[in-house]
Amino acid sequence: MLDKLALIPLMPFLGFLLNGLFGRRLGKTFVSIVGVGTAFASAILGSYATWEYVHTFHDGERHVDVVYQWFLSGGVGTDIAFQLDPLSIVMLMVVTWVGSLIHLYSVGYMHEEDGYFRYFSYLNLFLAMMLILILGSSYLFAFVGWEGVGLCSYLLIGYYYQTDFAPAAGKKAFVVNRIGDFGFLLAMFLMFMAFGSVDFGAVEKGAIGVGPGALVTGICVLMFVGACGKSAQMPLYVWLPDAMAGPTPVSALIHAATMVTAGVYLVVRSNVLFRMSPTAMAIVAFIGALTALFAATIGVAQNDIKKVLAYSTVSQLGFMFIAAGVGAYVAAIFHLVTHAFFKACLFLGSGSVIHAMGGEQDIRKMGGLRKHIPVTHWTFAIATFAIAGFPLAAGFFSKDEILASALATPYFASLGKVVWAMGTVAALFTAFYMYRLYYLTFAGEFRGTHEQEHHLHESPKTMTIPLIVLASLSAVGGLIGIPHLLGHSLHIPHVLEHWLEPVLTKVAGLRDGAFAVAEQPEIIVMAGSTILALAGWWFAKSKYATRGTAADEAFHENMPGLASTWENKYWVDELYDAIVVKPLHGFSTICWKVFDAIIDGLLSLAAYFIAALGDIIRFFQTGNVRNYALMLFLGVVVFIWVYV
Amino acid sequence: MIPTSWFLILGAILFSLGVLGVLTRRNGITIFMSIELMVNAVNLTFIAYARELGSLHGLMWVFFIMAVAAAEAAVGLAIFIALYRHRETIDVDEANLMHW
């Protein structure tokens, strides 16, 4: 299997071809079997490859499987090659298994849709592209997957193409991502220029050879611009909340669990380069903290169940970048994994709620769903506890590790404290808005119409099974990264840290990719975030558990300025519209109305002259044979006269 | 012996008649016959000179021209038959689609 890694992405690609070409004619059963089957096949193949990898390489070496040479031009080139190393394996497991569960869930969720085959072929293509992104052995090949997932994201956001907002949201996602991709491309050009290769290993070696400096910092910052676009960080996060226009399983798979974490993967993958440039790390950490706090505050005032989760995703991605920025790469990947579990569970749960509510997404019209959809309720509750950082749930360990690392980072002491403070406030907001969402949706009295109440029903098995699996993972997923503070006395190692150690290459003169956090800050952070989670919970419970939306109305009354700022997302969309979209639109209109008129006018004028000339000449083209004969005769006469 | 100039004058007259026919007639077959007249006027002139100069070159040209004229007649008649099938007439003034 290790020499056939290409099979892993090829499986869903095959599903894409089959469903895309024949799915419409062969019916929904065929599409379901192919779509879900190929996803699970790649998950099984991936697991088998992992098993073989573990038995072949004992020290976490990098295994590269070259399929063929892509191009070679003047000594610069790259291969189509897949690689397996501990980091790729973590991503592979998350993407294939969570992805397969979401495929399964989609069977139930999308069953009524006409575009069923279209949906599944896009979803399969997405999985194939995501696998190329995480298994590619060079920046360029990973970029192929990077662009591919962007395309699928665009296609799936615009899945409901008959509506006004979905295609617009898709376009927005595509354009904003393009800005980020530009940065990524420039970073790759710099790599080609400086190291003559974009292979992960070669770039790492090249960077170590060159040493810290402007070049490495430039590459890192440009790469982070790309990561900002894909992982929805400020200032390029605006597309992700709009991306909720797509079907809910898509939001779970692409816009929560997998694609949006690609930026984090990229930064961790390039950890040697980042470690050489504390400047770039500071930028990453600060942008991450800013985004985490900013999005968390917006999440407090949103009323669309998916919008709350979308801002929550932006905020959690910010946490991952805090970790990557302060040099705690293991914590970043740890949070990536736990986030994939609980956020996928939350999104799928929200899909189940929307399904039960007959398409209603406004939490003000929900409430009291606890008794109607018990399975959804329980899984959602567990995932809420996990994301809020409730002690012993998955999010507790990963978020604590991030905050403790920020406090203890050896790279920049004072900025680390600022980042830690911002992250802590963001964590408090996270707990609050998640419990607000939970209580408004599931507790209290039902606030929808009578018809909706009558229609309420639990989702089918294909939807509840993935929910149960993901909720279990949200509950116990934190066990892969028990902090040393607790682990030492219980003799449980930090599994993930040990596993990822080989990826964080040790370089002489550079700090290690992992650093120990002293006991004291760890205890402070852990106690602090437990209190915060409980405080957020208590506060949300006291406001929303029984009284419905009364607390929101009171908030609007007492602090109208803050409430409307948060509800309107700080008017960032309006700001971008005013400073980017409007001027661009105006400029395009000028080009269209003025320059186009000039260019087209010149062409039309030339054409007019030619036509006028033709009008004169065509007078001789009578179509009468005898006229032509006469002309011929006269011509001969003139010819003879002149020459003879 | 008849002087060569007589042949040449007869050839010129026949050629002029042919030209006149081509330019004035509207019936395709008549135009065709006029062209044959012009061709044969040229043949006559060739033969007259060949006899005058005692050379075989002129005779050889006549054979060429007769062969070409035969081919031309075959093609031309075919064209007129096709024209008649489409238009029920061989009046060349009616065949005037190729104009502005």
The whole-number pLDDT of residue A413 equals 77
- Give the dihedral sign, CA A403/A434/A233/A291: negative
Distance from CA of B1 to the nearest CA of A (A): 31
Q: Is B95 on the interface with A (CB under 8 A)?
A: yes
Compute the distance between CA of residue A549 and CA of residue A366 in angstroms, rounded to an integer: 10
Domain residues for B83? 4-87
Query: DSSP letters of A225-278?
Result: HHHHHHTT-TTSTTHHHHGGGS-HHHHHIIIIISGGGHHHHHHHHTHHHHHH-H
CA distance A614 to chain B (A): 10
Min Cα–Cα distance to chain B from A627, Å: 8
State the Cα–Cα distance between residues A540 and A600, nearest whole angstrom.
Answer: 63
Q: Is A627 on the interface with B (CB under 8 A)?
A: no
Asked if residue A281 lies in contact with residue A326, where contact means CB atoms within 8 angstroms, the answer is yes
Chain B contact for A621, CB < 8 A?
yes
A127 within 8 A of A19, measured Cβ to Cβ: no
The confidence score (pLDDT) of residue B93 equals: 80
Q: What is the pTM of this model?
A: 0.79
Nearest-CB residue to B100 (from A621, A629, A633): A621
What would the two tokens of residue A579 be?
A: 């400073």
| In contact, A446 and A425? CB cutoff 8 Å | no
| A6, A65 Cβ separation under 8 angstroms | yes
Domain annotation covers residue B100 = no
Nearest CB among B92, B95, B99 relative to A621 is that of B99
Please indicate, yes or no, if residue B99 is contained in any of the structural domains.
Answer: no
The CA distances from residue A33 to A19, A24, A120, A589, in Å, are 10, 14, 10, 49
Q: Which of A246, A224, A343, A243 is nearest to A291 (CA)?
A: A224
**pLDDT at B67 > cutoff 90:** yes
Those residues whose C-beta lies under 8 Å from the C-beta of residue A61, and which sit 6 or more positions away, are A85, A502
Residue A258: which of A129, A387, A139 has the closest Cα?
A: A129
Instruction: Give the end-to-end CA distance of chain B in Å, rounded to a whole number.
Output: 56
Q: Measured between CB atoms, does A626 come within 8 Å of chain B?
A: yes
Q: How far apart are CA A346 and CA A376, in angstroms?
A: 9
Q: Tell me the C-alpha distance between A299 and A566, whole Å.
A: 8
The pLDDT, as a whole number, for residue A79 is 85
The CA distance from A107 to A124, in Å, is 13
User: If 0-12 CB within 10 Å is exposed, 13-18 middle and 19+ buried, where does residue A303 land?
Assistant: middle
Question: Which 8-state DSSP code applies to residue A410?
Answer: S
**Which regions in chain A score pLDDT beneath 70?**
485, 487, 491
Number of domains chain B is built from: 1
Give me the amino acid identity at A71.
Answer: F
* Nearest-by-CA chain A residue for B90: A625
Choose, out of A619, A624, A633, the residue to mutate when testing the contact with B (most B CBs < 10 Å). Answer: A624
Residues of B in contact with A623 (CB under 8 A): 96-100
Task: Name the DSSP letter for residue A65.
Answer: E
Q: Which two tokens stand for residue A323?
A: 């970790």
Distance CA A173, CA A155 (A): 10
Q: How far apart are CA A97 and CA A50, in angstroms?
A: 13
CA distance A246 to chain B (A): 58
CB proximity B19 to A under 8 Å = yes
Joined together, the tokens standing for residue A380 give: 């959602």
* CB of A386 closer than 8 Å to CB of A342: yes
Query: With an 8 Å Cβ cutoff, are A623 and B98 in contact?
Result: yes
Q: Is B100 on the interface with A (CB under 8 A)?
A: yes
Q: For residue range B26-60, what is the model confidence (pLDDT) as tens digits?
A: 888 898 899 999 999 999 999 999 998 988 888 99
* pLDDT tens digits, one per residue of A206-255: 888 888 888 889 999 999 999 998 988 888 888 888 888 888 889 888 88
Residues 6+ apart with CB under 8 A from B39: B18, B65, B69
Q: CA of B56 to nearest chain A CA: how many angstroms apart?
A: 26
Say which of A618, A622, A630 has its CB closest to residue B23.
A630
Contacts of A37 (CB under 8 A, 6+ apart): A15
* Host H or E run for residue B100: none
Residues contacting residue A625 through CB under 8 Å, at least 6 positions apart: B31, B92, B93, B95, B96
Residue B88 forms contact with A (CB below 8 Å): no
B100 pLDDT above the threshold of 60 = no
> So where are chain A's domains?
315-567, 576-643
Is B97 inside a domain boundary? no
Nearest chain A residue to B96 by CA distance is A623
Give dist(CA A368, CA A447) in Å, integer: 8
Question: From the candidates A615, A617, A619, A626, which should be mutated to test the interface with B, based on the most B CB atoms within 10 A?
Answer: A626
Distance from C-alpha of A609 to C-alpha of A616, rounded to nearest angstrom? 11
A69 near B CB under 8 A: no
The first and second tokens of residue A117, run together, are: 């085959």
> C-alpha distances in angstroms, A423 versus A325, A384, A513, A521?
13, 18, 21, 15
CA distance A364 to A436: 11
Helix pair A262-269, A116-135: axis angle to 10 deg: 10
Q: What is the CATH number of the domain that holds B8?
A: 1.10.287.3510
Q: Does residue B69 have a pLDDT over 60?
A: yes
Q: Name the residue among B93, B99, B100 with its Cβ closest to that of A626.
A: B93
* A1 Cβ contact partners less than 8 Å away, ≥ 6 residues apart: A7, A45, A48, A49, A52
C-alpha span between B19 and A489 (Å, rounded): 123
Q: Residues near A71 by Cβ (< 8 Å), separated by ≥ 6?
A: A77, A78
A216 vs A543: CA distance, rounded Å: 50
Q: What are the structure tokens assigned to A89, written together?
A: 């394996």
Of chain B, the percentage scoring pLDDT greater than 90 comes to 55
Contact between A368 and A444 under an 8 Å Cβ cutoff? The reply is yes
- ipTM rounded to 2 decimals: 0.82
CB pairs under 8 A between A and B: 33
For A273-332, what is each residue's pLDDT tens digit? 888 888 888 999 999 999 999 888 888 888 888 888 899 999 999 999 999 888 888 888
ω into residue B3 within 30 of 0, thus cis?
no
Q: Do B96 and A622 touch (CB under 8 A)?
A: yes
Assign residue A621 a region (left: φ > 0; alpha: ψ between -120 and 50; beta: otherwise): beta
